[in-house]
Chains A and B, each alone.
Chain A
Amino acid sequence: METTTGRSEPLPVVSPAPRRRRWRLFALREDIPGRIYFALGASFILLILLIWTVVTHAELIDPLFLPSPAAIIAEGIAQAQSGMLWADAGASIYRIVVGWLIATLFAVPIGILMGNFKFFEAVFEPFIDLVRYMPVVALIPLTILWAGTDDSQKFLILFIGTFFQEVLLVMDNVKSVPKDLIKVGYTLGMGRFEVLRDIVLPASLPGLWDTFRITLGWTWTYLVVAELVAARSGLGRRIMEAQRYLATERIIFGILFIGLLGLLTDYFFKVVGARLFRWIKER
């Protein structure tokens, strides 16, 4: 501060003591600090692990029902060293990727048609809604009848599990493009096809990407169903097989490993999406 009157001696500057910001952790819908947010999630997982370890080491539960975390890790290391884990993972990832790609290859164009033309929505939606509620497991016998017992049957199961959900999400992605953007296209002299290709499609890309992320996650959850019968390898297969020998640590390791791969896929889509669609970010 400057003063023009009185003595030239500078006045003592008293800056207000920085007040510590008080975070209220239980305020309705208010943000909490990022570090606390992360720590809460991590601590909960650690808590589960801790309870798990204590319960198993104190032998409160028969290892047949719940082996210790150490036994699970040992199982994982053994599988990795024997190479079985990588062969299983390879077979499963291949099935997931192909099954999901086929579903997506159909879901995107059909969903785009349904989202833009009431005609196609009217044609397809009742049928899709009908199939969507059929239990996929119950379709296994039919898929074997139709596609045999090789990988094409696995693709078919993954396709059925994924496509009928994905096509509706794609339709919604396309529908959420504001009508006024389409109107702008028309006023600029664009035709219907041009508007579809150069406005509707780019505008719905971030939504479509999110749909890909979500549906690929669903494809992962159908893996065990797909490998339920007539599979010689695969992560899901290994779980079903372990059930026969009551190898609980193998079952739990398999489940956790599938979960981990699903999580990694999700993370991959999130990171790539954030890079691809930087224009979404607000100031």
Chain B
Amino acid sequence: MDQRTVNGQRPKVTIRNLSHSFESPNGSLLVLDNINLTLADNEFVSIVGTSGCGKSTLLNLVAGLIEPVAGEILLDSKPIDGPGRDRGVVFQSYTLFPWLTVWKNIDFALRKTRLSRAEKDELIRHYISTVGLEGFEDAYPNQLSGGMRQRVAIARALVYKPEVLLMDEPFGALDAQTRGMMQELLLHVWETHRTTVLFITHDVDEALFMSDRVVVMSARPGRIKLEVPVELPHPRSYEVVTSPQFVELKLRVLEAIREEALKTMTAAG
């Protein structure tokens, strides 16, 4: 159990006895098996696990894009029912609207708000500068690099101030250098605009570098195998990955993942 909830704080997100399976021609495929997890308010939690273990499924469930077969997900102790503006999502694939400029892509997320034009413009300007894209307001997504596109996607998910930010391997398609820069940028954004984050990745360094807590999932069917609190001080900078504390945590997480990866390999024959 997470210590924050023990400390009397109400959890922001509660995932309780959550199971999910997909129907396939060869019968039903159990993907998530009895997941229990809580996220405290403003906590940054990463989920790592081998590919195919059900990470995206879990995120889609929390986003409300699919309905669980069993169990429930609470947001501020209210059960979620379908997708909603209290949760912002950033996907791994590039999901900017290609026919809209950077500015209009972010503006698109504000159409359901009752803000005035001036208030919207102010917000958009703020988030464009937060992700460092001043000067690209009128560029179309196809003119941007992958890293820039994901920065716009992050701005679009933050601009309407959802309670929870859900990110499914948002940097998975980027090259190693860009990815490192994006991790620092996201961490900085989170340190300055605290919000609850559920971040999915298969990169252990990425998870430990940004998170308050790292959750390791087992191979399919996904279960929670290990939870490690990351008590590294903020603000963190990239050198932290060489600290003994980081290295020790990394070893623990890697061992857990390795065990699962071996299981899938032997299962596959």
- Which A residues have a C-beta under 8 Å from some C-beta of B? 178, 180-181, 183-184, 186-190, 199, 202-203, 205, 277-283
* Residues of A contacting B143 in the complex (Cβ-Cβ under 8 angstroms): 281-283
* Residues of A contacting B85 in the complex (Cβ-Cβ under 8 angstroms): 187-189
- Which B residues have a C-beta under 8 Å from some C-beta of A? 63-65, 82-85, 87-89, 91, 93, 95, 97-100, 108-109, 111-112, 140-143, 160
Most buried by B among A184, A205, A279: A184
Alpha-carbon gap, A216 to B166, bound state (A): 45
B interface, by DSSP: helix, strand, loop or mixed? loop
Q: Is the CB of A188 within 8 A of B108?
A: yes
What are 27 A-B pairs at a CB distance below 8 A? A178-B95, A180-B93, A181-B97, A183-B65, A183-B89, A183-B95, A184-B89, A184-B91, A186-B65, A186-B82, A187-B63, A187-B84, A188-B108, A188-B109, A188-B160, A189-B83, A189-B84, A189-B85, A199-B97, A202-B97, A203-B97, A203-B98, A203-B99, A281-B142, A281-B143, A282-B143, A283-B142
Minimum distance in angstroms from A206 CB to a CB of chain B: 8
**4 new A-B pairs (CB below 8 Å) besides A183-B91, A282-B143, A283-B143?**
A186-B64, A187-B64, A203-B99, A278-B140
* Residues of B contacting A183 in the complex (Cβ-Cβ under 8 angstroms): 63, 65, 83, 89, 91, 95
Contact of A187 among B87, B97, B142 (CB under 8 A): B87
Minimum distance in angstroms from B219 CB to a CB of chain A: 25
Minimum distance in angstroms from B29 CB to a CB of chain A: 19
* Residues of B contacting A279 in the complex (Cβ-Cβ under 8 angstroms): 98-100, 140-142
Contact of A202 among B88, B89, B99, B142 (CB under 8 A): B99
Q: Is the CB of B142 within 8 A of A280?
A: yes
* Residues of B contacting A278 in the complex (Cβ-Cβ under 8 angstroms): 140
Alpha-carbon gap, A178 to B109, bound state (A): 18
* Residues of A contacting B160 in the complex (Cβ-Cβ under 8 angstroms): 188
- Closest A residue to B85 by CB, please name it: A189
Q: Is the CB of B65 within 8 A of A180?
A: no
* Residues of B contacting A203 in the complex (Cβ-Cβ under 8 angstroms): 97-99
- Closest A residue to B153 by CB, please name it: A184
Alpha-carbon gap, A135 to B93, bound state (A): 44
- Closest A residue to B143 by CB, please name it: A283
Alpha-carbon gap, A190 to B160, bound state (A): 14
For the complex of A and B, list the 7 residue pairs with the smallest distance between their C-beta atoms, beginning with the closest. A279-B140, A189-B85, A186-B83, A187-B89, A180-B95, A187-B83, A180-B93
Minimum distance in angstroms from B200 CB to a CB of chain A: 14
- Closest A residue to B142 by CB, please name it: A282
* Residues of B contacting A187 in the complex (Cβ-Cβ under 8 angstroms): 63-65, 83-85, 87-89
* Residues of A contacting B100 in the complex (Cβ-Cβ under 8 angstroms): 279
- Closest A residue to B84 by CB, please name it: A189
* Residues of A contacting B84 in the complex (Cβ-Cβ under 8 angstroms): 187, 189
Contact of B112 among A186, A188, A281 (CB under 8 A): A188
- Closest A residue to B112 by CB, please name it: A189
* Residues of A contacting B109 in the complex (Cβ-Cβ under 8 angstroms): 188
Q: Is the CB of B97 within 8 A of A205?
A: no
Minimum distance in angstroms from A125 CB to a CB of chain B: 21
Minimum distance in angstroms from A202 CB to a CB of chain B: 5
Minimum distance in angstroms from B103 CB to a CB of chain A: 13
Q: Is the CB of B93 within 8 A of A178?
A: yes
Alpha-carbon gap, A282 to B98, bound state (A): 11
Alpha-carbon gap, A54 to B95, bound state (A): 59
Contact of B98 among A186, A188, A280 (CB under 8 A): A280
* Residues of A contacting B111 in the complex (Cβ-Cβ under 8 angstroms): 188
